[in-house]
Amino acid sequence: MAKSNTRKPSADRESLVSVIVTTRNEGDVIGRLLNSVKNQTHKQLEIIVVDNQSSDATKAISRKYTTSVFDFGPERSAQRNYGARKAGGEYLLFLDADMELTPQVIEECLNIVQRRERVGAASILEDSVAGTFWEKVKAYERSFYNLEGDETTDAARFFKKELFWDLKGYDETITGPEDWDLTERLRKAGYTVEVVRSKILHYERVKSIYSLLRKKYYYGLKSHKYLSKQGVSPASPKTLLFLRPVFCKNWKVLLAHPVLAILMYFMLFGEVLAGGLGFLVGKIRNL
């Protein structure tokens, strides 16, 4: 029998990808991320750093990797949209400074979105890198989302630029769940989001349980706008973190690590309380 000559479609190596990184005082991590972008197997790319008034060496380090370093604020959504307006590429990849790309991430994202017309974006799973006690607990939580992907938490990072602007980019009135909001709008427009095999290394930076809860409170302040806009109940798996189906489906993993599981649920309950308080304060004050 003759062998098939069918080959898996490969990324168009001439396609320019604009990598957009938002920063604020990220001097301790930004070099690692930008170096990993430079070392991608797909070489046709540009790096755009949108900084929000850093007082450390973030911008100086960034300029070692790119001339496209801008100041803009006040929040991540606005920074991302500003970076997209400066982008010259056909495709956009949005990253956070505490990440590191494995070498084939961009090439695989291109393969996915170029394969079929209705694939509008790609999401990238994250492997946590943890050092402190609570970083390890957070890494244990994230490991569940990587078992098979989780639509409750997965959000697109890689977009066709034309489609990104058709959807009007990130909602600048939302801080925190703006990536979920854009992904859900993309799906409602009839497009799909596919997950790539290569992963992002995410360096968890959790100094204490207090710092984690403070962050959840801050994101909760404007969460009422996202929930109202998307018709999401405040009592859903997106908000009540401990109810996410991925934990129930993988109960054997919980039983295999009982101490970590108990600590994780303690952390999740705390995050829900902090986020819920932020939700109430933001809604009452109409933030």
pLDDT digits (tens, 9 = 90+) for 157-190: 999 999 999 999 999 999 888 999 999 999 999 9
Pull the structure tokens for residue 129.
């890198």
Do residues 243 and 153 lie in contact, with contact meaning Cβ atoms separated by under 8 Å? no
For residue 27, give the nearest of 205, 178, 158 by alpha carbon: 205
CA distances in angstroms from 6 to 2, 9, 10, 24, listed in the order given: 12, 9, 12, 47
Is residue 103 over pLDDT 90? Answer: yes
Average pLDDT, the chain: 90
pTM for this model (two decimals): 0.89
Mean predicted confidence (pLDDT) in 269-277:
94
Question: What is the spatial distance between Cα 165 and Cα 23, in angstroms, rounded to a whole number?
Answer: 22
Q: Look at residue 66 in the predicted model and tell me its pLDDT.
A: 97
Do residues 23 and 50 lie in contact, with contact meaning Cβ atoms separated by under 8 Å? yes
Q: Is residue 21 packed enough to be buried (19+ CB in 10 Å), middle (13-18) or exposed (0-12)? A: buried
CA atoms within 13 A on the CB side of 141: 21
Question: What is the spatial distance between Cα 56 and Cα 36, in angstroms, rounded to a whole number?
Answer: 21
CA atoms within 13 A on the CB side of 281: 12
Dihedral Cα 130, 132, 137, 141, nearest 10 deg = -30
CA distances in angstroms from 246 to 142, 151, 183, 235, 262, listed in the order given: 10, 10, 19, 17, 16
Mean predicted confidence (pLDDT) in 15-25:
96
CB-CB neighbours of 88 under 10 Å: 10
Please, which residues bridge with residue 23 across strands?
51
Do residues 95 and 26 lie in contact, with contact meaning Cβ atoms separated by under 8 Å? no
Q: Look at residue 182 in the predicted model and tell me its pLDDT.
A: 96
Is residue 117 over pLDDT 60? Answer: yes
Each residue's pLDDT tens digit, 215-226: 999 999 989 998
Pull the structure tokens for residue 171.
């909602």
- The CATH code for residues 17-207 is 3.90.550.10
